[in-house]
Amino acid sequence: MGLEDLLPPFFATKLQTLLNWSRKNSLWPMPFGTACCAIELMSTLSSRYDLSRFGAEVLRFSPRQSDLLIVGGRVCVKMMPVLQKIYLQMPEPKWVVSMGACASCGGVFDTYTMIQGVDQFIPVDIYIPGCPPRPENVIDALQMLQEQIGSGKK
């Protein structure tokens, strides 16, 4: 194409910038879907909204192979130890998205067995409001997270 002649055969950057750039564009989400948010997450991943356009298409149900934990749905007292174990099993660096009202604050389920926000017990990077959130909200959250990863804040 002739473009190669115009560009220098190398470019200079910082190693950390390169790492962040590659990390932010190859997120491997691990869905922790326990309720209707997971349905909306599936919609986000499928052809109409197509999350893979933003570099996060490889969904892994194995925490050892993923670096983005998406908690979508109600987390109950019996599920919280499982969620913590999954969080610990994920390799560093890792990020957590709390998707929807229930995961973020318990939603309307203010009862004895519902965790009132997973951020009480695991670190959360991005919260998505909504019940359930629209796929656009999920994409927006992913891009916010990518921005933060790219700038080295997270």
Residues of this chain that bind other proteins (CB under 8 A): 77-78, 80-81, 84, 87-89, 92, 110-116, 120-123
Q: Toward other proteins, which CB reaches closer, 45 or 101? A: 101
How far is Cα 103 from Cα 21, in angstroms, rounded to an integer?
Answer: 29
Q: Toward other proteins, which CB reaches closer, 24 or 51? A: 24
Q: Whole-number minimum distance, CB 10 to other proteins, in Å?
A: 34
Q: Whole-number minimum distance, CB 109 to other proteins, in Å?
A: 10
Q: Toward other proteins, which CB reaches closer, 54 or 121? A: 121
